[in-house]
């Protein structure tokens, strides 16, 4: 059974710092991996999607990497801003129609 773990569960960093969020999954047979952002009481915003054949994806200040063999992914946020405060969810798809989510990392950027 696929399980997704995110560490840390919560993180507070001063504005301007670079930071890394970690995600691990137990079954390396995945179709893709996604990182989402969720603001309190809101839905999900997809940030980056990495196909199983890819190693990383970049969008603006965000960079996500994927090491499928070791079951790990990281989300790197450069030059953090208070507006980055949210919960970040890692999710894997064992096939193209199913998504399994981690519990998320609650990020708080201190002004």
**Residues of this chain that bind other proteins (CB under 8 A):** 4, 31-32, 36, 41-46, 49, 51, 89, 91, 96-104
The residue (of 14 and 41) whose beta carbon lies closer to other proteins is 41
Q: Which residue has the tokens 């989300």?
A: 75
Q: How far is the CB of 102 from other proteins (least distance, A)?
A: 6
Q: How far is the CB of 45 from other proteins (least distance, A)?
A: 8
- DSSP, res 9: S
The rounded distance, in Å, linking the Cα atoms of 86 and 84 is: 6
The residue (of 65 and 105) whose beta carbon lies closer to other proteins is 105
Q: Cβ-count burial of 56 within 10 angstroms (0-12 exposed, 13-18 middle, 19+ buried)?
A: middle
The rounded distance, in Å, linking the Cα atoms of 55 and 42 is: 29
Q: How far is the CB of 21 from other proteins (least distance, A)?
A: 15
């Amino acid at each position: 059974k696929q399980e997704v773990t995110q560490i840390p569960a919560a993180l507070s960093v001063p504005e301007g710092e670079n930071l890394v969020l970690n995600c691990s999954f137990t079954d390396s047979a995945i179709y893709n991996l996604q990182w989402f952002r969720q603001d309190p009481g809101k839905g999900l915003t997809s940030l980056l999607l990495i196909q199983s054949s890819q190693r990383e994806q970049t969008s603006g200040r965000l960079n996500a990497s994927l090491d499928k063999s070791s079951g790990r992914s990281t989300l790197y946020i450069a030059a953090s801003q208070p507006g980055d405060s949210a919960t970040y969810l890692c999710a894997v798809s064992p096939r193209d129609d199913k998504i399994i989510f981690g519990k998320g990392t609650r990020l708080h950027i201190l002004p």
